Amino acid sequence: MTRNIDRNEELFARAKQLIPGGVNSPVRAFRAVGGTPRFVTRAQGAHFWDANGTRYIDYIGSWGPMILGHGHPVVVEAVQKAARDGFSFGAPTERELELAEEIIRHVPSLEMVRLVSSGTEAGMSAIRLARGATGRSKIIKFEGCYHGHADALLVKAGSGLATFGNPTSAGVPAEVVQHTLVLEYNNLQQLEEAFALHGRDLACVIIEPIAGNMNFVRAGVDFMRRTRELCTQHGALLVFDEVMTGFRVALGGAQAVYAKAIPAFRPDLTVLGKVIGGGMPLAAFGGPRAIMEQLAPLGPVYQAGTLSGNPVATACGLATLQQIARSGFFDELAAKTATLVDGLKAAARAAGVPFSADCEGGMFGFFLLPELPGNYGQVMKSDGQRFNRLFHGLLDRGVYIAPALYEAGFVSSAHADADIAETISAAQAVFRSLA
Residues in Cβ contact with 5 at an 8 Å cutoff, skipping those fewer than 6 apart: none
pLDDT for 167 equals 81
At position 77, the amino acid (one-letter code) is E
- Is 146 tagged catalytic? yes
Of the residues 138, 141, 274, 336, which is catalytic?
A: 274
Q: What is the mean pLDDT of residues 89-109?
A: 97
**Quick check: 347 pLDDT over 60?**
yes
pLDDT of res. 84? 98
Alpha-carbon torsion 115, 119, 124, 128, what sign? positive
- DSSP-H helix ranges across 283-351: 289-292, 311-324, 329-351
240, 267 Cβ separation under 8 angstroms: yes
* Residue-level pLDDT at 169: 84
Catalytic residue among 50, 58, 241, 419: 241
Name residues whose C-beta falls within 8 Å of residue 59's C-beta, 6 or more positions apart in sequence. Answer: 399, 400, 401, 402, 409, 410, 411, 423
Separation between Cα atoms, residue 107 and residue 294, nearest integer Å:
20
Q: Residue 107 pLDDT more than 50?
A: yes
Q: What is the mean pLDDT of the chain?
A: 95
Across 395-403, average pLDDT: 97
Binning pLDDT at 50, 70 and 90, where does residue 2 land?
very low
User: Buried (b) or exposed (e) across 128-157, using 16+ Cβ within 10 A?
Assistant: bbbbbbbebebbbbbbbbbbbebebbbbeb
Half-sphere exposure at residue 307, Cβ-oriented, CA atoms within 13 angstroms: 11
Task: Give the pairing of strands 138-142 and 202-207.
Answer: parallel
Mean pLDDT of all residues in 85-96: 97
CB contact at 8 A, 359 and 383 = no
pLDDT at 168 over 90: no
HSE-up (13 A, CA, CB side) for residue 169 = 12
Amino acid symbol at 48: F
On the question of a cis peptide bond just before residue 297, with omega within 30 degrees of 0, the verdict is yes
CA dist., res. 285 & res. 16, Å (int): 35
pLDDT digits (tens, 9 = 90+) for 231-288: 999 999 999 999 999 999 999 999 999 999 999 999 999 999 999 999 999 999 999 9
DSSP bridge pairs for 278? 280
If residue 77 lies in a helix (H) or strand (E), which one and from where to where?
A: helix 73-85
Percent of all residues in the chain with a pLDDT value above 90, rounded to a whole number: 90
Q: Is the pLDDT confidence value at 3 over 60? A: no
Alpha carbons 246 and 241: distance in angstroms, whole number: 8
Catalytic, 260? Answer no
Question: At 158, is the pLDDT very low, low, confident or very high (cuts 50, 70, 90)?
Answer: low
Average pLDDT over residues 46-68: 98
Question: How far, in Å, CA of 388 to CA of 408, rounded?
Answer: 15
Which of these is catalytic: 50, 59, 141, 146?
Answer: 146
Determine whether 345 is an active site residue.
no
Q: How far apart, in whole angstroms, are the C-alpha atoms of residue 383 and residue 188?
A: 27
Does 160 score more than 70 pLDDT? no
If pLDDT is split at 50, 70 and 90, which confidence band does 172 have? confident
